[in-house]
Amino acid sequence: MINRKSREDIKLMRHAGHIVALVHQEMKRVIEPGMSTKELDNIAYKIIKENRAIPTFLGYNGFPASICTSVNEQVVHGIPHEDVILKEGDIISIDVGATYHGFVGDSAWTYPVGKISDEVARLLKATEEGLFAGISKMHEGNVLDDVSSAIEAVANREKLGIVRQYGGHGVGRNMHEEPFLFNYSVGDKTLLKTGMAIAIEPMFNLGVDEVEVADDEWTVSTIDKKPSAHFEHTVVVTDNEPIITTKLLV
């Protein structure tokens, strides 16, 4: 069942999302060569706690950190570690979740570390474009497949791989609610209605679609070891324009 959020729920989701956005703002500012992914996790934990929220990922199915840090060919669910040191030319995808008064904000962004190649910059730009193409379809009366198709069209145009096994999801009191949102068309005719909240999160690869899970049972990487990017916002369907909850409140 897809549950729809009330105005009060959406207010709390925007507050949760604001805290997630604060973390991303700081990640963008501090990421540089020489930094460990564990340092980034410590910073994120502190910001979430200071804002009286709960790091949603910490302990989720046993996940040991507050953020996922996925470097280069890693797609999602990378575990922060003091031995993983960022270097010039890397990219790092940071996924953040915060729970505030029972509601979740979920957002991921891929950041360049220093100067990156033109090819990898194109991957980042296209994946971000895929996210916003999906968001632009979050209108009442559209169907889920409109969102999926818009995301897929950007990857196809740029001849990028699309991760198939992972995708977007409903979000609210739980991080993962119905419906699942594919990042490619599967013909899902589920109607979008006011109050539906969905985390839209394209994962595009510079190489093939296929990914595998590492021995740590978390880290997902591309099988050809080519870079992957991940951009995600939590978005609510309204009577008017969709609301991105994972933005700074002004």
Amino acid identity of 201?
Answer: E
- Can you tell me whether residue 224 is helix, strand or coil? coil
Q: Which is nearer to Mg ion, 145 or 232 (CB)?
A: 232
| HSE toward the beta carbon, residue 183, CA cutoff 13 A | 29
Quick check: 145 binds Mg ion (CB under 5 A)? no
Q: Which span sits near Mg ion by CB under 5 A: 59-67, 204-212, 225-233, 238-246?
A: 225-233
Quick check: 177 binds Mg ion (CB under 5 A)? no
Q: Which is nearer to Mg ion, 199 or 203 (CB)?
A: 199
Least Å distance between CB 118 and Mg ion? 27
Q: Which two tokens stand for residue 230?
A: 């991940």
Least Å distance between CB 76 and Mg ion? 8
Contacts for 115 with CB less than 8 Å, ≥ 6 apart = 88, 89
d(CA 52, CA 99): 9
Q: Which is nearer to Mg ion, 117 or 165 (CB)?
A: 165
Stretch 94-133: interaction string toward Mg ion, x if CB under 5 A: -x----------x-x-------------------------
Judged by CB under 5 A, the number of residues near Mg ion is 5
Task: Kindly identify the residues of this chain, within the stretch 62-101, that bind Mg ion according to CB under 5 A.
Answer: 95
Q: Which span sits near Mg ion by CB under 5 A: 52-60, 83-91, 116-124, 229-237?
A: 229-237
Note whether 200 and 131 are within 8 A (CB): yes
Q: Which span sits near Mg ion by CB under 5 A: 41-49, 84-92, 222-230, 232-240?
A: 232-240
Number of other CB atoms surrounding residue 237 within 10 Å: 24
Task: Kindly identify the residues of this chain, within the stretch 37-56, that bind Mg ion according to CB under 5 A.
Answer: none
Note whether 69 and 37 are within 8 A (CB): yes
- Can you tell me whether residue 135 is helix, strand or coil? helix
Q: Which is nearer to Mg ion, 89 or 180 (CB)?
A: 180
Q: Which is nearer to Mg ion, 106 or 209 (CB)?
A: 106
Phi/psi class of residue 179: alpha, beta or left (left: φ > 0; alpha: ψ in -120 to 50)?
beta
CA dist 2 → 142, 171, 226, 234 (Å): 15, 10, 36, 15
Least Å distance between CB 68 and Mg ion? 7
Number of other CB atoms surrounding residue 81 within 10 Å: 15
Q: What is the DSSP letter of 80?
A: P
Q: Which is nearer to Mg ion, 150 or 199 (CB)?
A: 199
Quick check: 199 binds Mg ion (CB under 5 A)? yes
* Closest-CA residue to 24 (of 219, 192, 230): 230
Least Å distance between CB 147 and Mg ion? 14
Q: Which is nearer to Mg ion, 73 or 232 (CB)?
A: 232
Name the site residues for Mg ion (rule: CB under 5 A). 95, 106, 108, 199, 232
